[in-house]
Structure 1
Amino acid sequence: MIRDNRFVISRKPYAIDLSTVTGSQQPRGDLHAFSGSANAVWYRRKDGVTRACIGTLMLFSHYLPEPLDLEDPQAILSAKLDGRYGGDCHGRWDGTGYWGAERPEVQEQHLAILRPMLTACPTTPAGYDGWWTFS
């Protein structure tokens, strides 16, 4: 992934909670495979409407030349990771409607992040590091 200070929605950037970056790795011949995840937020636009999203980002690569430092979230994110699946959205706010969790307490947690995020687009919420894009 690549970290960029500029927000460009067409690059499909993510703001990531670095404290949630986890994963494991195993040797794969002369290379290394990594599989992990992180909590993230992001913006997407559909039909001219910007939406704030919250969910999980799957992180993986099957062909890393060196093992990753699993104690350093930025080292993990800076590796050449595969982003073909994008984020797994758990909640989404478009300014008028919420889609996502059915449990009211989870909805409240999501909206506490998503409402101010959408209002101040394209800022990153407190506790998140952005903007990360897959290369």
Structure 2
Amino acid sequence: MIRDDRFLISRKAFAIDLSTVTGKQHPRGDRTAFSGRANALWFRRQAGVTRACIGSLMLFSHYLLQPLDLADPHAILAADLDGRYGGDCHGRWDGTGYWGAEIPATRDAHLAILRPMLANYPAMPAGYDGWWRF
């Protein structure tokens, strides 16, 4: 992944909760295979409407040249990871409507993050690291 200092919506960047970056790796011939996940936030725009999203990222690579330091989330994120699937969205807020979890406590937790995130667009959400892109 590549870390940018400034946000551009066209780059489809993610703000990542570093405390949730996890993964496993194993040898694959003379290379290393890695698979993991991380919780993330991101902005997307559809039909001229900006949306704040919360969810997770699948992090993987089948052919890393060297094993990763699994204790260092920055080392994991800076690896040559595959991002073809993008984020797995669990909740989305566009300023007027919410899409996502139907469990009230989960919905309320999402909105507690997404409302101020969208109100402060394009600022980095507090407690997250970014902007990361594939």
TM-score of the pair, normalised by structure 1: 0.98
- Separation in 2 of the partners of 1:6 and 1:132? 10
1:101 maps to 2:119: no
For structure 1, list consecutive stretches of 5 or more residues without a partner in the other structure.
none
Written as runs of structure 1 = structure 2, the 5 A alignment for 1:2-13 is 2-13=2-13
How far off its partner does 1:110 sit? 0.4
- Separation in 2 of the partners of 1:114 and 1:5? 21
For structure 2, list consecutive stretches of 5 or more residues without a partner in the other structure.
none
Determine the structure 1 residue equivalent to 2:113.
113
- Separation in 2 of the partners of 1:8 and 1:37? 23
- Separation in 2 of the partners of 1:49 and 1:62? 36
Poorly superposed stretches of 4+, deviation over 3 Å: none
Corresponding pairs, count: 134
TM-score of the pair, normalised by structure 2: 0.99
Q: Which amino acid aligns with 2:80?
A: K
1:77 maps to 2:73: no
Written as runs of structure 1 = structure 2, the 5 A alignment for 1:1-135 is 1-134=1-134
SS of the residue corresponding to residue 10 of structure 2 reads helix
- Separation in 2 of the partners of 1:42 and 1:121? 10
How far off its partner does 1:3 sit? 0.6
